[in-house]
């Protein structure tokens, strides 16, 4: 077990598994158990997602696993979670694990964090972005969602408690433990289960990304790169979130040729939504062979 010191002085545990080229995975290496695990399975989420990804890569790579999302939820950084700070945190994790050069895979907001890392360092051997487009990213839409969620959290400070974030917006309502079936649940009535500091840190992140030109920075990404998403990855938030539509798949599908001309390998998972496309059974058949083919020594 290793420990990395992050930009705000807090520390995060870092696990290292296997041997070979280093791959940073910002995932929870410890499977969720008990009733919460049962609820996650019902909503199509693997309670051992992080462990499954680690186990699928550790025979060929030195996997550096750390629960960054869990850390920022348990130790919020309401005023400092900026793109530069996140990139610094990821480099601190690599340093703690003794990884001079490393590949990085992130999903959703952790994917956009990988892009921010890639334009700030020459240490990346490969970059994989899942569930967030490298160009045409919905930064303005995510700012709207996070601001709305922050306002809801401020309005209910006595009832907001730490929860499992939505896969697309870390500060949005979580999958509820109601006993209802996913297809019948009324998401417009979902309660915000994250606190004011938890939500404010993502407002800070997306405010810092206001006006970010992801196309203009592509020439600064110099390592092999892969992006993927489910073809049905589109999230429409309800009236309380301003009826915002967050389109993840659209830019990847419609601008695929442009992405490929910019050096990206592109995969689209037919019919899958945001949650489905992040599960290990879908990710590993893409991630592992690509890393093996692109990373020296893989």
Q: What pLDDT is attached to residue 282? A: 98
- Report domain extents, the chain: 2-294
CA distance 17 to 231: 32
Tell me the pLDDT of the chain (298 aa) as tens digits: 899 999 999 999 999 999 999 999 999 999 888 998 888 888 888 999 999 999 999 999 999 999 999 999 999 999 999 999 999 999 999 999 999 999 999 999 999 999 999 999 999 999 999 999 999 999 999 999 999 999 999 987 554 433 333 433 444 434 444 445 555 444 455 566 789 999 999 999 999 999 999 999 999 999 999 999 999 999 998 888 889 999 999 999 999 999 999 999 999 999 999 999 999 999 999 999 999 999 987 7
pLDDT for position 190? 58
Q: What whole-number distance in Å separates Cα of residue 140 and Cα of residue 5? A: 31
What is the structure's pLDDT at 192?
A: 66
The confidence score (pLDDT) of residue 184 equals: 47
pLDDT of residue 117: 98
Q: Note the CATH architecture for domain 2-294.
A: 3-Layer(aba) Sandwich (3.40)
pTM: 0.91
Closest by Cα among 156, 154, 160 to 174: 160
Measured in degrees and rounded to the nearest 5, phi and psi for residue 14 equal -130, 125
Q: What is the pLDDT of residue 178?
A: 44
- Residue 168's pLDDT is 36
């Amino acid at each position: 077990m290793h420990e990395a010191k992050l930009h705000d002085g807090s520390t995060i545990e870092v696990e290292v598994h296997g041997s070979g080229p280093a791959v940073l995975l910002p995932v929870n290496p410890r499977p969720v158990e008990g009733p919460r695990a049962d609820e996650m399975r019902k909503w199509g989420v693997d309670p051992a997602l992080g462990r499954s990804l680690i186990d699928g890569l550790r025979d060929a790579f030195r996997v550096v696993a750390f629960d960054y999302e869990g850390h920022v939820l348990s130790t919020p950084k309401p005023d400092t979670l900026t793109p530069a700070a996140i990139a610094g945190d990821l480099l601190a994790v690599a340093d703690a694990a003794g990884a001079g050069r490393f590949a990085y895979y992130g999903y959703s907001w952790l994917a956009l964090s990988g892009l921010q890392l890639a334009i700030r360092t020459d240490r990346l051997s490969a970059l994989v972005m899942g569930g967030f487009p490298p160009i045409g990213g919905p930064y303005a839409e995510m700012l709207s969602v996070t601001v709305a969620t922050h306002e809801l959290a401020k309005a209910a400070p006595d009832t907001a408690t730490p929860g499992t974030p939505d896969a697309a917006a870390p500060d949005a309502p979580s999958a509820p433990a109601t006993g209802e079936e996913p297809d019948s649940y009324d998401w417009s009535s979902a309660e915000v289960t994250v606190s004011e500091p938890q939500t404010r840190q993502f407002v800070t992140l997306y405010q810092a990304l206001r006006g970010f030109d992801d196309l203009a920075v592509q020439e600064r990404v110099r390592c092999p790169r892969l992006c993927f998403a489910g073809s049905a990855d589109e999230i429409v938030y309800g009236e309380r979130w301003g009826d915002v539509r967050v389109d993840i798949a659209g830019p990847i599908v419609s601008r695929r040729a442009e992405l490929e001309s910019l050096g990206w390998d592109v995969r689209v998972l037919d019919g899958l939504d945001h949650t489905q496309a992040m599960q290990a059974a879908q990710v590993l058949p893409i991630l592992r062979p690509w890393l093996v083919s692109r990373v020296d020594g893989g």
